[in-house]
């Protein structure tokens, strides 16, 4: 095994956890016992479960025997590898005449070949050391994206490690540059995705330039072997970038939906690298995948028609490229009609014909959007000046989710010098303001 891989094995270990059950196998390699200067404390590594499949959790059992007549308080550290990566430090008391048993462990790195390395237990009064071994992991049969990829800084990538046995259960530990990034205990979304897509997933954003090694250790339940998938990610200017989500329909963020009502959401997505692959549609708090929609090319439209409902849940799309690039959108929040906010008409000023000559008509063109799902009527007022004066009024109406425009105007006064002042369009739910100029 070459040195970089060995360093990852020895240094890339997780924070140790307390193992409540005794390890099942005998000590592998050499057992070492140490004592303090007076012979009061003896430190012994009495058991490990090595060899384990690479990537698996390796347990280490240590005994501290106090042969003296007084209690001893000491510190204990578990160190792994030639570089002595610290897994855990504990402070504990060993009562006089008694033996304390300490059980610790860590996830090993998923190397593809058999290897061995030292494990040391270091205390204030002595040290014990043993050599343990791992059995090389086999390759995961199905993983994505390709094992070498280049992305721009700030790009999020979606990695997948496929099921070893589609009918079985597996645990997957994810690593980036030798650092463990997951515990292997996934949440409800990981479980839902595995059930729907037959793969464990890992999302990671690469913020800084450089080359990164990503690994997935796949550990099937009730199996005596482990599996590994690896990727090399070059983060560099000119690499691939995440897809974008545009032209959402409906445009509003909140949908008032009656239970059992069918609704449609849709958007356009673009991948600058032409690698669109699929959309995963989630119903958020329900932890449910509604549908997986195939995409292709550089630009495509994704649409979902469903009657799925969960009060305050979002219908959230994930867009995934075949190159692993990823983006997510907050989507659309679903509210029961009785609890939905009273969405109104939003107002924005598109343009004016300012500057105008004194005495000419100043026009204000307004864009309107009905943010709700029901028909709305409103009345717009045009307010001008620092001493506000209403100079025009216009009724407007729009169906739910639709947009429109209106024009308001007024005849400017004859002035002897140039003047600048604000004009404001005010509706019942929104308003907008811009400065204008009248030339003498």
Q: Residue 47's domain is classified under what CATH number?
A: 2.60.40.10
Task: Examine the domain organization and report whether 309 and 350 are in the same domain.
Answer: no
Q: How open is the CA angle 73-77-79, to the nearest 5 degrees?
A: 165
Give 63's pLDDT tier (boundaries 50, 70, 90).
Answer: very high
Which of 168, 203, 235 is where one domain is finished?
Answer: 235
Task: Examine the domain organization and report whether 203 and 287 are in the same domain.
Answer: no
**What's the mean per-residue pLDDT of the chain?**
87
- For 129-168, what is each residue's pLDDT tens digit? 999 999 999 999 999 999 999 999 999 999 999 999 988 8
What percent of the chain has pLDDT above 90? 70
Q: Does the pLDDT at position 8 exceed 70? A: no
- The C-alpha atoms of residue 400 and residue 250 are separated, in whole angstroms, by 9
- The C-alpha atoms of residue 125 and residue 104 are separated, in whole angstroms, by 19
Task: Examine the domain organization and report whether 197 and 151 are in the same domain.
Answer: yes
Tokens representing 210 are: 């450089």
Task: Examine the domain organization and report whether 16 and 68 are in the same domain.
Answer: yes
How do 376-384 and 389-398 pair as beta strands? antiparallel
Task: Examine the domain organization and report whether 7 and 91 are in the same domain.
Answer: yes
Task: Examine the domain organization and report whether 329 and 350 are in the same domain.
Answer: no
Give 338's pLDDT tier (boundaries 50, 70, 90).
Answer: low
Task: Examine the domain organization and report whether 28 and 127 are in the same domain.
Answer: yes
What percent of the chain has pLDDT above 70? 90
Q: Does the pLDDT at position 247 exceed 60? A: yes
Token pair 């959309």 is at which residue? 279
Q: How many domains does the chain have?
A: 4
| Confidence (pTM) | 0.69
Which of 200, 217, 235 is where one domain is finished?
Answer: 235
| Partners of 220 in beta bridges | 170
Task: Examine the domain organization and report whether 119 and 63 are in the same domain.
Answer: yes
- The C-alpha atoms of residue 47 and residue 13 are separated, in whole angstroms, by 19
Q: Which carries the bigger pLDDT value, residue 350 or residue 6?
A: 350
- The C-alpha atoms of residue 295 and residue 345 are separated, in whole angstroms, by 34
- For 89-118, what is each residue's pLDDT tens digit? 999 999 999 999 999 999 999 999 999 999
Which of 235, 254, 282 is where one domain is finished?
Answer: 235
SS (H, E, C) 34-55: EECCCCCEEEEEEEECCCEECC
Burial class of residue 328 (count of CB atoms within 10 Å of its CB; 0-12, 13-18, 19+)? middle
Task: Examine the domain organization and report whether 122 and 179 are in the same domain.
Answer: no
Task: Name the residue range of residue 329's domain.
Answer: 244-336
* Rg of the chain over all Cα atoms, to the nearest angstrom: 33
Q: Cβ neighbours of residue 66 under 8 Å, at least 6 residues apart? A: 40, 41, 72, 94, 95, 96, 97, 98, 99, 100
Task: Please state the length of the chain.
Answer: 440
């Amino acid at each position: 095994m070459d040195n970089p891989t060995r360093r990852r094995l020895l240094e890339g270990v997780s924070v140790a956890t307390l193992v409540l059950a005794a390890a099942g196998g005998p000590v592998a390699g050499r057992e070492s016992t140490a004592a303090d200067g007076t012979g009061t404390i003896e430190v012994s590594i009495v058991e490990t479960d090595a060899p384990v499949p690479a990537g698996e959790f390796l347990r280490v059992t240590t005994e501290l025997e106090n042969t003296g007549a007084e209690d001893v308080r000491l510190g204990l550290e578990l160190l792994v590898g030639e570089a002595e990566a610290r897994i855990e430090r504990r402070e504990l008391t060993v009562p006089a005449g008694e033996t304390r048993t300490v059980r610790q462990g860590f996830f090993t790195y998923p190397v593809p070949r058999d290897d061995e390395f030292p494990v040391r237990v270091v205390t204030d009064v002595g040290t014990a050391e043993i050599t343990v071994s791992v059995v090389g992991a086999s390759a995961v049969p199905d993983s994505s994206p390709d094992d070498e990829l280049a992305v721009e800084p700030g790009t999020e990538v979606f990695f997948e490690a496929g099921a070893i046995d589609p009918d079985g259960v597996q645990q997957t530990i994810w690593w980036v540059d030798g650092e463990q990034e997951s515990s292997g205990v996934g949440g409800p979304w990981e479980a839902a995705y595995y059930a729907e897509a037959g793969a464990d997933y890992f999302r990671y954003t690469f913020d800084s330039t450089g080359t990164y090694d990503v690994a997935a250790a796949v550990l099937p339940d009730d199996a005596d072997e482990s599996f590994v998938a690896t990727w090399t990610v070059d983060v560099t200017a000119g690499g691939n970038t995440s897809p974008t989500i545009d032209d959402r329909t409906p445009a509003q963020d909140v949908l008032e939906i009656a239970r059992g009502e069918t609704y449609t959401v849709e958007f356009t997505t673009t991948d600058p690298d032409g690698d669109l692959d699929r959309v995963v549609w989630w119903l958020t708090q329900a932890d449910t995948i509604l549908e997986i929609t195939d995409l292709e090319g550089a630009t495509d439209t994704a649409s979902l028609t469903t009657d799925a409902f969960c009060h305050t849940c979002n219908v959230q799309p994930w867009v995934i490229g075949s190159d692993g690039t990823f983006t997510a959108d907050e989507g659309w929040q679903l509210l029961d009609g009785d609890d939905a906010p009273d969405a109104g008409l939003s107002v924005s000023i598109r343009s004016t014909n300012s500057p105008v000559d004194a005495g000419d008509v100043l026009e204000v063109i307004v864009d309107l959007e009905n943010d709700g799902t029901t028909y709305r009527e409103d009345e717009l007022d045009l307010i001008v000046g620092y001493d506000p004066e209403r100079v025009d009024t216009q009724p407007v109406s729009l169906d739910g989710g639709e947009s429109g425009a209106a024009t308001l105007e007024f005849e400017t006064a004859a002035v002897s010098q140039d003047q600048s002042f604000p004009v404001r369009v005010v509706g019942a739910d929104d308003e907008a303001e811009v400065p204008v100029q009248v030339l003498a």
